[in-house]
Amino acid sequence: MAPRAPQVQEEAGYPRHPPRMGFFTDTSVCIGCKACEVACKEWNRLPADGPFELTGMSFDNTTQLSASTWRHVAFIEQRKPVRAPGGPAGDQQDLRWLMASDVCKHCTDAACLNVCPTGSLFRTEFGTVVVQDDVCNGCGYCVSACPYGVIDKREDDGRVFKCTLCYDRIGDGLIPACAKACPTESIQYGPLDELLERAEARLADLHGDGVPDARLYGNDPADGVRGNGAFFLLLDEPEVYGLPPAPRDATRDLPAMWAHAAVAAVTLVCGIAVAFAGSRRAG
């Protein structure tokens, strides 16, 4: 059954809201086991992605997030001299794997939610963005609006699907299936403020261990989507992981676009009116 938009509980006239919840994915400890992919598929009863095929992308057989893959583990093989975390200064490695479990970002400014004409997408009381698949009409506006390319349609019925951050689980006080299954705690779930503090501390540790390329991604409230509910610690540039370096909510430009269109329309009408009045005087 599709998740339903929540009813806000009130006590003594004041609405009660839990803290915003989210994911912190620390790619530096991801071992590429794909336990998160399997747990996500099993809990959410997602269909298979078709026959197993070698993609040529290391051990990556799902290639990207889709309507049937809400967690995707990427494998990036690099030949780049790097020092192992905690190792001596002369300990250089020529080949390394970068592994990262990607997921919907649950943006603060969620373009998918802003363009949905049916209310299929809604913001939960946990600050996450969820699709009600039985309300989706398959228009696809959200697919093109998402700056991360997360949302996808299923070919059999045309409706869209994506990560719900296990809305049915966290509403009962459980943690999402992917975070529960992760053996290295690469995927961490909790109040977003606490996760941000934890991530900053982890980043400082890596920099202190001689990993200068480590960085946080998706945690900046001043970026084009005002920060994400799911953010990452990366060991290289975002583009290496297939992530946009400067994501932006395109719906931010809609008011200005409509204002320009209105000015153009008024100018056109005034021009027609002046031309018509001039032709009448000439006649």
The one-character DSSP state at 161 is: E
What CATH number should be reported for the domain holding residue 194? Answer: 3.30.70.20
Judgement on whether residues 232 and 276 belong to the same structural domain of the protein: no
- Is residue 229 in some structural domain? yes
- Is residue 5 in some structural domain? no
Q: Answer yes or no: are the C-beta atoms of 148 and 243 closer than 8 Å.
A: yes
Judgement on whether residues 139 and 276 belong to the same structural domain of the protein: no
Looking at residue 80, what is its pLDDT?
Answer: 75
Minimal CA–CA distance to 102: which of 134, 53, 64?
64
Judgement on whether residues 147 and 258 belong to the same structural domain of the protein: no
Q: Which residue has the tokens 């020092």?
A: 83
Instruction: Determine whether the annotation assigns residue 40 to a binding site.
Output: yes
- Is residue 1 in some structural domain? no
Minimal CA–CA distance to 215: which of 226, 227, 228, 204?
204
Q: What is the mean pLDDT of each run of 10 residues along the chain (283 residues)?
A: 48 62 97 96 89 72 91 89 63 79 96 94 96 94 95 92 97 97 98 97 96 95 94 97 92 53 62 68 62
Instruction: Determine whether the annotation assigns residue 178 to a binding site.
Output: yes
**Whole-angstrom distance, CA of residue 163 vs CA of residue 68:** 10
**Whole-angstrom distance, CA of residue 111 vs CA of residue 126:** 18
Strand partners, 24: 188, 231
Looking at residue 9, what is its pLDDT?
Answer: 43
Strands (E), the chain: 10-11, 14-15, 21-26, 72-83, 92-102, 121-123, 129-131, 152-153, 160-161, 187-191, 215-217, 230-234
**Whole-angstrom distance, CA of residue 49 vs CA of residue 30:** 23
* AA identity, residue 91: D
Provide the domain limits for residue 34: 15-248
**Encoded tokens for 22:** 């989210």
How many C-beta neighbours within 10 Å does residue 6 have?
Answer: 14
Judgement on whether residues 88 and 26 belong to the same structural domain of the protein: yes
**Whole-angstrom distance, CA of residue 25 vs CA of residue 60:** 18
Judgement on whether residues 258 and 240 belong to the same structural domain of the protein: no
- Is residue 2 in some structural domain? no
Minimal CA–CA distance to 102: which of 206, 240, 254, 10?
240
Judgement on whether residues 61 and 189 belong to the same structural domain of the protein: yes
- Is residue 103 in some structural domain? yes
Judgement on whether residues 233 and 283 belong to the same structural domain of the protein: no
The one-character DSSP state at 228 is: B
Looking at residue 170, what is its pLDDT?
Answer: 97
**Whole-angstrom distance, CA of residue 199 vs CA of residue 192:** 10
- Is residue 3 in some structural domain? no
**Whole-angstrom distance, CA of residue 85 vs CA of residue 207:** 9
Q: How many separate domains does the chain show?
A: 2
Instruction: Determine whether the annotation assigns residue 270 to a binding site.
Output: no
Name 80's Cβ contacts closer than 8 Å, sequence gap at least 6. Answer: 94, 96
Judgement on whether residues 180 and 267 belong to the same structural domain of the protein: no
